[in-house]
Chains A and B, each alone.
Chain A
């Protein structure tokens, strides 16, 4: 039997709320306002307004101006489209989700359309450049060493570049854009399969598009963007396989395993979440099927548990093989994040007031911060509604659907991790996964449970909640410096980049070759990406900051480390003496001058020591050749 007809029967054979049922009163007016030409015109105008907001922010306008302009553009583009998806027919919903994919990609694309700007983008762009120049995968990476072992994104970019002849950055954008749109369709198929309703599928895609990582973090040129799409498709196809039979089940299972294989070679954390989730679903399906058999309940005797175990087992086998044969350092890389976050959270419970200040000292306007606080509340209310409805009706739904929804509930406690410095990063990265469950819950509540709880029946209320969650979640994602192009600001990953640093890095690579460099964390991005040079990773055990952040000569152990590791060059940006770093430090959390400027005298001193020669210079950057063997050599006065 064909999978298409098989799946079609599943859908057609059950009660489905048609799209027309979601249509609000006054539908003729709504239909006119959400006709395809109007939606496309609104999307185009909204895109231009978003561009205008970036013009304001780049010119240094007040935050209230560019935030208001940005949201005017986004809402102009997205509100008519979302209404079309919610009220249109099935075909309009499909095209609408495609357009939603384009429009949720646009803000990040316009942020830096021609070159990397985010921290991880520098690393991935350099990795792709190195793959292309060397012709082989698994190239060492100075910015994020672990991406060497996950060549999915760089390999895909290299293949696209070779086939099209486009620049490396544009090839990467094509890859990320495709993955971004595919991810929304993955959510569409997943929700449609589980809730047995195309209308729910389309709304599920909309809810998933609201996740805080979607508009910026997962749309940057990095491995998450590609891997999350494969994660969603693995789950969608596995869910489909669990409901199919015979050849269709085999074909869908094989496709799910193929997507999982792509995920394994692309991103460690996504693979970990895929393993956790598929295991949870497989266990839930097995328990439900066993209980049903015991009760002789034919309706739940086949919960597709075998399919889920195959997907979990195959993914686990591939992941273990990949870890064992290629990516051994992954465990060392991931462990500090988890351990650190849990430790910090438990510490904060003991000491009230410690930890990370959330939503303070930020350029975000108050109304966006309020929405950021309200968004988890709205999601929580939605989850509560779903729980109330499912309490009585959970037997109607398959175990995998309920397990995915239960997994989505983890989003709510994860919001707490924003309070822990290490956990904020982990929480942010988990939302792309937990929102799969939220998408299911959201679509379930809007399409399946709206009849029972009045609040979910009112279109204006739904639209208001949509706007709150959209604005709030984007606000909870990345900070102002990441979201908006701004004038130069020292100490940010994004707005500290300068052509001056880029060309100095390129010139150093030409003059000195493939050398190792000590520099601050912001200049380091340019040095590694554009110069292709290896960077020192300062830490307590290797306090490379000792070259600029102290007034005296570097200590003997540091000198020995630098000499034996061949860190022979130092790049200094004197703007670190003009203002303190926006991110709080220049050499990582252990920087002895964290929160303060580096005194200019400490930088000028490098011109008077016998162990450093200034070989390249601009107004703001200085490159020194180190010869620490001359440490202690007396410098003679002038002749």
Chain B
């Protein structure tokens, strides 16, 4: 009897140590740059379930004791042992977020990994302190394995169905061009002004979304107060691959024109493109 208890205690200690090592490894894995699959399926799952499982043990008591002489998993206790680890795992993550946020510690990958790992470790140590468990009988392990295979097959089938259902939806591609003024001062609200007759230059960028821009240079026009501007010179750059998300191609350019001779406030319209050109409108103050 004593030998059995000693062996059970040794196994319990070894399992506890293995879990501590696993939690530390999962914390490290979550803290350093590693593949998403590894972090999601290994580090995240392990940290959440260790915290949740041991939190459940603290709430419900040790399963080893509960199983003795009772119709173990027939009542709400059995259901709780399955579901509470997930609930308490989620609450432990919420607690980490709240404690980090409210204590002013930045929510970074490192702080979250350490916070979650520490929570799991604390719950693990408290729950397993001096509570040796008898090993599960072989038939129970085999039954659990069979059940796990069935669940895994169901998960695979349903995941495939969800992926198929997502794939059934056509993905609409919006094809459009966007013209933006590249004059930070004007965008920031500063008045564009120039001396009468002096050259004025406005830079712009044309971006193509969903499809490339035409290779042919776009027509560039300038009107001032509705009349064609004088001294117009358009410098149009080549089509280049887009540098921002979603941008297939972009073309930068600038248009130079002479400011009106007469003083006053004018509206300047710059059109870029053929067919239905895109329009920019800027106020210009001509001074003497």
Contact = CB atoms under 8 A, between A and B. Distances in A.
A45 B174 contact: no
Given A233-B87, A503-B178, A45 B161 contact: yes
Contact of A94 (B65, B79, B94): B79
Contact of A50 (B61, B62, B165, B278): B165
Nearest to A325: B102
Give the size category of A's interface with B: 35 or more
A144 B219 CA distance: 44
Interface string A456-483: 0000000000000000000000000000
Nearest to B286: A636
A126 to B, nearest CB: 16
A182 B209 contact: no
A12 B74 contact: yes
A137 B102 contact: yes
A638 B174 contact: no
B187 A625 contact: yes
A229 B94 CA distance: 13
Contacts of A627: 189, 191, 283
Given A94-B82, A163-B39, A615-B186, A58 B161 contact: no
A343 interface: no
A52 B169 CA distance: 7
Contacts of B58: 251
B112 A617 contact: no
Interface in B103-122: 104, 106-109, 112-113, 116
Contacts of A229: 87
A444 to B, nearest CB: 17
A310 interface: no
B279 A156 contact: no
Q: Which of B34, B36, B165 has the most CB of A within 10 A?
A: B165
Contacts of A612: 281
B195 interface: no
Given A4-B75, A7-B75, A160-B44, A43 B161 contact: yes
Interface stretch (A184-192, A546-554, A578-586): A184-192
Given A511-B180, A639-B225, A11 B75 contact: yes
B97 A499 contact: no
Most buried by A among B63, B158, B167, B169: B169
Contact of A634 (B188, B189, B265): B265
A12 B75 contact: yes
Contacts of A617: 178-180, 278-280
Contacts, number: 336
B260 interface: yes
Given A51-B166, A131-B107, A615-B180, A40 B158 contact: yes
Interface in B60-86: 60-63, 65-66, 70-72, 74-84, 86
B77 A3 contact: yes
B276 A619 contact: yes
Nearest to A167: B36
A339 B34 CA distance: 52
Given A182-B86, A633-B265, A163 B44 contact: yes
A286 interface: no
Contacts of B137: none
Contacts of B88: 255
Given A193-B76, A613-B282, A158 B107 contact: yes
Contacts of A189: 76, 79-80, 83
Contacts of A342: none
The 9 closest A-B pairs by CB, nearest first: A51-B165, A4-B77, A638-B227, A155-B97, A8-B75, A137-B101, A135-B106, A636-B264, A638-B225
12 contacts: A2-B62, A5-B66, A8-B77, A55-B169, A162-B30, A163-B47, A178-B90, A247-B61, A510-B244, A616-B178, A625-B186, A638-B226
Interface of B: 30, 34-36, 39-40, 43-44, 47, 58-63, 65-66, 70-72, 74-84, 86-88, 90-91, 93-94, 96-98, 101-102, 104, 106-109, 112-113, 116, 150-151, 153-154, 157-158, 160-162, 164-170, 172, 174, 176-181, 184, 186-189, 191, 207, 209-210, 223-227, 229-230, 244-247, 260-262, 264-267, 269, 276, 278-283, 286
Given A4-B81, A155-B98, A637-B227, 20 more contacts: A3-B61, A4-B61, A137-B98, A151-B101, A162-B109, A165-B40, A175-B90, A182-B87, A251-B58, A499-B210, A506-B244, A511-B180, A613-B186, A615-B180, A615-B186, A630-B265, A637-B225, A638-B224, A639-B225, A639-B266
